[in-house]
Chains A and B, each alone.
Chain A
């Protein structure tokens, strides 16, 4: 299986999940043939790929051309992480005045082209699979690779974090501390980390399947959180420009 790992606008953290596989990364490298992975090897070959793992959002014209080229050359394209899936933290600017982002802060010479919006991969090309998270969970990467190796479609959880949090026996931070928690509308997969560490979920795995926004907004109202404040939290949830979330923002 020919594999490529590609990076767009991002922090590099999701590619690191390959290294997080540790010894398994080494043995997988013997089974898969990793043709293109700039961060891992100084020998890279542009070819047709069976699997293309894509980290990062699209925020320049060059990136837009490159993702189309990768799509044309790849059988299965997998978006990894909140930047690729939703546009990343940098997509919070999509809700602000882009000129203002620059004015007063940025000056100097023109050096290269940048788009006002940071967008997910799926705004440009067909995405076959998503691995959620900021960063992704290495177990999800492992599950995805092994499933594809034996010809199965990978199954990753899409239900809300609350279910996993309850299973772990955590006290609900909304009920016990009166804190905002994005768990009810956020996809699980992290191990309900934030509530397990005494704080509300901040949404880094993006919207769950069929999020009940109405009930969620009602919960926030009861906590005394203004709608404006709530929208800021969702825009800064690292997934604020996910197609399922931008509808309600």
Chain B
């Protein structure tokens, strides 16, 4: 017998959940992703490298900057372009803007209603108005960074190969909204101490994140189990498998073990690199590595918001418009890899180019496809104790588990390997 939740709600993109039951017991479970692929990598073939950042941004409306920056890093590495440090700092600031906005959207619009057993932020705002308004102040601060540096809060226009097409003279008007957001996020952290969390731990997962000079966001090596590997070595350690029921591939470690990317992994691998207030907030919420309860990811995202806000304020304070905001790019026949920490986890890009800088091949591995296996295993563990599998159970119990992973299904889908059934 099959039980199905045909459309997942309060997640980014389109997915479904199907359970296979045998004599009333859970036998198997599939997280189906039916969002149609958009063949972004295939479309890039034969096009100039200049199109890559704006086109790959459209893989995801909630984390476009992650796509822009992973792809820019790959392009700049391929063509040996070195971006000045002050330009890199502006990129970092913009990326913090995306983290703040994306995390706030997920925490308040998508995830938090679960903890109050309410269907949406609208109902939540009726009973906890102040909490929701604080969330909007936090989100707004992130959006303002993106608007200031990139013109708009989704698909910003200024990131280009070599740097920025334009950078503002002055960023001081960002200061007070960022400070307000920081104050509000500390207050929200206090409030969220009241939440209760189901007792469930992810066992047997490898926590994978980047590692760099600071808490990872813009670049770095790939880190897991005490070792780090180069971005170029990604495919030697991690593999993707096609699965029949999903338009997104599943990833695993080469040795077969499942792994997890995203907020929980970043915190577990980089706790000591969080900003001062973020560490304090984490400790006040009893978050210490190794943290294995996926429900607590909402708190980890809040800790990351505190970190991002604190760092963003430092960057705004020290900002001086760089003398050169864009370095020249000289295309050549080459290959480049780029990796960064999207809000949902590591986002890996690799391109090969011909001598004019036209794309010969493009390969993108987004965070959600890497987490798909972890989501299924966690759902199985959660649901195997149940006996009455109604649609209501799936809505009330299974969906919140999926939201813990903050899946971005639009991202996961674009690159799938499928064959035509119908033309």
Contact = CB atoms under 8 A, between A and B. Distances in A.
A199 B160 contact: yes
Interface residues of B, number: 70
B14 A109 contact: no
B64 interface: yes
A137 B147 CA distance: 12
B370 interface: no
Interface string A15-37: 11001101100100110001000
Nearest to B133: A23
A112 B152 contact: no
Contacts of B165: 194, 197-199
Interface string B143-186: 10000001111110110100001100000000000000000000
Contact of B247 (A111, A134, A191): A111
Contacts of B36: 9, 59-60, 63, 112, 114
Interface residues of A, number: 67
A196 B34 CA distance: 39
Nearest to B56: A89
Interface stretch (B113-121, B192-200, B262-270, B295-303): B113-121
B242 interface: yes
B419 A106 contact: yes
Interface centre among B39, B105, B136, B245 (most CB of A within 10 A): B39
Nearest to B110: A39
B419 A107 contact: yes
A101 B40 CA distance: 10
Contact of B423 (A14, A15, A26, A116): A116
Interface in A168-212: 190-191, 193-194, 196-199, 202, 204
Interface in A54-99: 59-63, 88-90, 92-93, 96, 98
Contact of A10 (B119, B140, B245, B410): B410
A13 interface: yes
A111 B244 contact: yes
Contacts of B133: 23
A112 to B, nearest CB: 7
A22 B140 contact: yes
B43 A89 contact: yes
Contacts of B127: none
B422 A61 contact: yes
B421 A193 contact: no
Interface string A212-249: 00000000000000000000100010100000000000
Interface centre among B14, B120, B150, B154 (most CB of A within 10 A): B154
Interface in A131-174: 134-135, 137
Contacts of B139: 19, 22
A108 B419 contact: yes
A44 B9 contact: yes
A197 to B, nearest CB: 4
Contact of A105 (B42, B58, B132): B42
B398 to A, nearest CB: 11
B417 A11 contact: no
Contacts of A194: 151, 157, 165
B121 A197 contact: no
A184 to B, nearest CB: 18
B143 to A, nearest CB: 7
B266 to A, nearest CB: 23
B47 interface: yes
Given A135-B155, A199-B165, A11 B61 contact: yes
A59 B43 CA distance: 15
B132 A11 contact: no
Contacts of A236: 43, 47, 51, 55
Nearest to A17: B154
B122 interface: yes
B315 interface: no
A114 B418 contact: yes
B43 A93 contact: yes
Given A42-B399, A90-B43, A113-B421, A197 B9 contact: no
B13 interface: yes
B10 interface: yes
B420 A29 contact: no
Contacts of B34: 62, 112
Interface in A1-17: 7, 9-16
A41 B418 contact: no
B55 A114 contact: no
Given A26-B125, A89-B40, A93-B42, A109 B61 contact: no
Interface in A103-129: 105-116, 118
Contacts of B154: 13, 16, 135
8 contacts: A34-B122, A38-B9, A38-B14, A39-B11, A41-B9, A41-B122, A106-B417, A137-B152
Minimum-distance CB pairs A-B, first 10: A13-B61, A41-B120, A198-B166, A90-B38, A193-B151, A43-B119, A11-B61, A199-B165, A197-B166, A108-B242
Given A42-B113, A114-B36, 5 more contacts: A22-B139, A40-B109, A101-B39, A134-B155, A194-B151
